[in-house]
Amino acid sequence: MTANFQALIGGKWIKKGSLGTFKNINPANTDDIIGEFPACGKEEVVKAVASAKEAQKKWALVPAPKRAEIIKRAGDLLSEQKEEIARLMTREMGKILIETLGDVQEGIDTAYYMAGEGRRMFGDTVPCELPNKFGMSIRQPVGVCGIITPWNFPMAIPTWKIFPALICGNGIVFKPATDTPATAVRFVEILLEAGAPHKLVNLVPGSGKVVGMAMLEHPDIRLISFTGSTQIGRVIAQKCGEYLKRCSLEMGGKNAQIVMDDADLDLALEGALWGAFGTTGQRCTATSRLILHKAIAEEFTRMLLERAAEIHIGDGLEEKTEMGPLINKAQQETIAEYVRIGKEEDKAKLILGGKALTKGKYRKGFFFEPTIFTGVKRHMRIAREEIFGPVLSILEAENLDDAIATLNDTDYGLSSSIYTRNVNKAFKAIRDIEAGITYINVPTIGAEIQLPFGGVKNTGNGHRESGHAVLDTFSEWKSVYIDYSGKLQRAQIDTDK
């Protein structure tokens, strides 16, 4: 197994980085060490960038439909190895098998979508204002792209970034999260097997402080695409500002689900459970606030409490498990700290959970109970800060306007949801909710890859992943004017002749 867990720098797999190695641990069972991984440093980043830069020049000349064939093959290989990769992913990051299968599926979907872009990548052809003149816009590569990804979607998120980067003709320096390097290795192996040039794609595992920082400061990395916390995103944005790098950030969320008094409560209940406790709440799209119309608040809270108390917690590879562990000890401590904060905030009431599970079969993992607070008010920290765990804050609203105002009363703006059977209310919510994604009668999680993904306010910096929108991140527009009149024609000046 160890042979698989290497870094890929300049077309060569290496076992050790300049900073040695680090261990990858199963969060459901700390006795289970998945492997040792090279801890890379600046030296490896410099080599990786040089390699990607050189290889990118050739790759940019490969016709996009040919690049697409490689991406399509990568999709096929992901498909063939879906189950095996999903099992490895559950082992390294804890979420349950159906979710890790879904994570790989998201990568497959992106591969096939982006392979299609190889024959599209639409630009514009436009009429020109002068006779015998032609105008069009084409997409060109950006150069070397720095890809920095989180641990919660170890396959989906790297594929969201790397497939579009490749179809647009770019070179890759990829730093996966230190908690999930094994899935990243599998992905890069698949890219090579599918035919991606060895020196074009570089995998540089290591810490954000060292590897990430070296990527930010390297002048030949022209673009950084990052998914992670708003705190780190700010640092990245500042650095990219200093170096005038293009930078696409997908950061935190404090997503809410509204349940109106006319909603199908059973349906809304399924949505709330899945949105809040799926992936143990560790999605940027997770439902961390539930905004209940006051007329149904009591009944819905009772329904939710009953079901949430029954969620089966355990190792994500066991079939009966509905919620796996948190990613690591630090995250377990953070969640416990938020519960402490919640308990101290005036009038918030802990009605379920609130504790790390540390005994019996849970003693070797980073488990946490599904946790629900009621009586939460907009100003409270548990209503405002991203927690990234199985903690749900319930707020009440007087009516639709109040519910939307409560939903919008956050620094973030990624995902949002409303359950209502009233079409007028649904459309008002679509118009007035401040978020990159709004779901009607669907939970806040589960975006499909053919629509743009990203958020407003402190969630993003104006870019989107997925859909064709992501191509705007990974390509530069070039406008082309072709004058076949054989004479100088001056735009804006010779137009009346």
Of 419, 449, 414, residue with least CA distance to 433? 414
- Count the alpha carbons within 13 Å of 191 in the hemisphere toward its beta carbon: 30
Which residue numbers are catalytic?
250, 284
Question: Which of 147, 194, 268, 284 touches ligand UN1 (CB under 6 A)?
Answer: 284
β-sheet bridge partners, residue 225: 147, 248
- Which residue stretch of 115-123, 322-330, 394-402, 444-452 sits at the interface with ligand UN1 (rule: CB under 6 A)? 444-452
Task: Please list, residue by residue across 147-165, b when 16 or more beta carbons sit within 10 angstroms of its beta carbon and e when fewer do.
Answer: bbbbbbbbbbbbbbbbbbb
Whichever of 153 and 187 has its CB closer to ligand UN1, that residue is: 153
Backbone angles phi, psi at 198, to 5 degrees: -55, -40
Q: Please state the closest distance from residue 153 (CB atom) to ligand UN1, in A.
A: 5
- Which residue stretch of 49-57, 112-120, 258-266, 445-453 sits at the interface with ligand UN1 (rule: CB under 6 A)? 445-453
Strand order in the sheet with 475-483: 125-127, 133-141, 475-483
- 470-to-68, 118, 119, 171, 451 alpha-carbon distances in Å: 16, 14, 16, 16, 10
Whichever of 178 and 202 has its CB closer to ligand UN1, that residue is: 178
Whichever of 106 and 322 has its CB closer to ligand UN1, that residue is: 106
- Which residue stretch of 12-20, 107-115, 266-274, 280-288 sits at the interface with ligand UN1 (rule: CB under 6 A)? 280-288
Whichever of 96 and 447 has its CB closer to ligand UN1, that residue is: 447
Q: Please state the closest distance from residue 450 (CB atom) to ligand UN1, in A.
A: 12
- Within 111-170, the residues that bind ligand UN1 by CB under 6 A are 152-153
Backbone angles phi, psi at 27, to 5 degrees: -70, -10
285 binds ligand UN1 (CB under 6 A): yes
- Which residue stretch of 3-11, 230-238, 290-298, 439-447 sits at the interface with ligand UN1 (rule: CB under 6 A)? 439-447
Q: Please state the closest distance from residue 225 (CB atom) to ligand UN1, in A.
A: 13
Contact criterion met (CB below 8 Å) for 109 and 449: yes
Cβ neighbours of residue 51 closer than 8 Å, sequence gap 6 or more? 9, 10, 11, 171, 199, 200, 202
Sketch the per residue contact string, 59 through 98, with ligand UN1: x for CB under 6 A, - otherwise.
----------------------------------------
446 binds ligand UN1 (CB under 6 A): yes
Backbone angles phi, psi at 239, to 5 degrees: -60, -45
Q: Please state the closest distance from residue 256 (CB atom) to ligand UN1, in A.
A: 15
Q: Please state the closest distance from residue 389 (CB atom) to ligand UN1, in A.
A: 13
Whichever of 375 and 446 has its CB closer to ligand UN1, that residue is: 446
Whichever of 90 and 152 has its CB closer to ligand UN1, that residue is: 152
CA–CA separation, 432 and 404 (whole Å)? 7
Rounded (5°) CA angle 275-265-409: 55
Size of site (CB under 6 A) for ligand UN1: 10
185 binds ligand UN1 (CB under 6 A): no
Q: Please state the closest distance from residue 483 (CB atom) to ligand UN1, in A.
A: 47
Q: What does 199-225 look like in DSSP terms, one character per residue?
A: TTEEE--S-IIIIIHHHHH-TTEEEEE
Task: Please list, residue by residue across 326-352, b when 16 or more beta carbons sit within 10 angstroms of its beta carbon and e when fewer do.
Answer: bbbeebbeebbebbeebeebeebebbb
Of 429, 440, 380, residue with least CA distance to 407? 429
Residues across the chain? 497
Whichever of 59 and 153 has its CB closer to ligand UN1, that residue is: 153
- Which residue stretch of 71-79, 184-192, 281-289, 467-475 sits at the interface with ligand UN1 (rule: CB under 6 A)? 281-289
Q: State the residues that interact with ligand UN1 by CB under 6 A.
A: 106, 152-153, 227, 283-285, 445-447
